[in-house]
A = this chain, B = another copy of it.
Amino acid sequence: MRLRRLHAGLLIALGLLALPALAETPKATPTAAELIAKSKPSEWRTPDPANLLYMQLPQGRVVIELAPDFTPLHAANIRTLVREHYFDGLAIVRVQDNFVTQWGDPNDDDSGDKSKLKPLGSAKRTLPPEYTRAIDAKLPWTPLPDGDVYAPQVGFSEGFPVARDPASGREWLVHCYGMVGVARDVAPDSGNGSSLYVAIGQAPRQIDRNLAIAGRVLEGMPYLSALPRGSGPLGFYAQAAQRVPILSVKLAADLPAAQREKLEVLRTDSASFAAIVEAKRNRHDAFYAVPAGKVGICNIDVPVRSAPAANAGHG
């Protein structure tokens, strides 16, 4: 019924319905919602407001968490661009189905007028390519032992999906759904954060290690994933009027505390996160005839929630 009628699924999720089939399966796997409800406050972290971008679209707000431990130079340059209001008035210029939604300066596109490019201000024009980084034993690391097609090792660090190659000693953020990458030209140092994209379909893992990943969308993915697809080549919007305007991008740290989102992210090194992963890997309930037995790195959504009301006043 997860994929059929709503009522039974919802009632089971809420624990309100004891179906005969459930009675035969006394230890039904808890749902993610149930595990989240049982989690401890200490298992959640409040992202650093210096790492949170609020991108205001006409439809609503997108919240992005930067990942400075993985792409520090890009995080710094994006903060500079944001603080100098670079993105305000720019637009979503491209939505390619099952691939990416991309935003930046429309004059950077094929049909754009290069003489009208918005200045980058004091932000850097080029950056060293931070596609991978040396494995840092000081960063938290929660391995996912289920294997991966694309990388020798995968796991989570600081709330992000990460791949590792012990042979090369490198690690990198991976292009799961909702991860935000830095667009670039052919030159590896040409990505500077002024044009960003987010993965909106099957994880495009083939671009891992070829682009810098700046962070992850914590809230508002549907504002980016449900947009009309562009009819131009590569999903660029063929007409300017189809573009979605970016009203503003602000750094949470630059806003008064009262205007900040009260978001918390489940720690990926917590027991509750491990339980959610296991529930996804081996689901036993009335609906699932066969548990998967495995779970892919990009099939796990790291939970995000609004801080419980008791803490809301402390933000």
Is A298 an interface position by the 8 A CB rule?
Answer: yes
Question: With contacts A149-B294, A294-B150 known, is A4 near B225, CB below 8 A?
Answer: no
Chain A 291-303 per-residue mask, 1 if CB under 8 angstroms from chain B, else 0: 0111110110100
Check B3 against A197 for contact (C-beta < 8 Å): yes
Say how far A265's CB is from chain B's closest CB, in angstroms: 17
Q: How many copies does the complex hold?
A: 2
User: What B residues does A131 contact at CB under 8 A?
Assistant: 289-290
Check A202 against B6 for contact (C-beta < 8 Å): no
Check A204 against B149 for contact (C-beta < 8 Å): no
Q: How far is the CA of A7 from the CA of B185 in the complex (A)?
A: 10
Is A148 an interface position by the 8 A CB rule?
Answer: yes
Question: With contacts A109-B5, A110-B10 known, is A205 near B296, CB below 8 A?
Answer: yes
> Main SS of the interface on chain A?
loop
Is A134 an interface position by the 8 A CB rule?
Answer: no
Check B292 against A206 for contact (C-beta < 8 Å): yes
Question: With contacts A102-B3, A296-B149 known, is A202 near B176, CB below 8 A?
Answer: yes
When the two chains form the complex, which single residue of B3, B197, B228, B301 contacts A183, counting CB atoms closer than 8 Å? B3
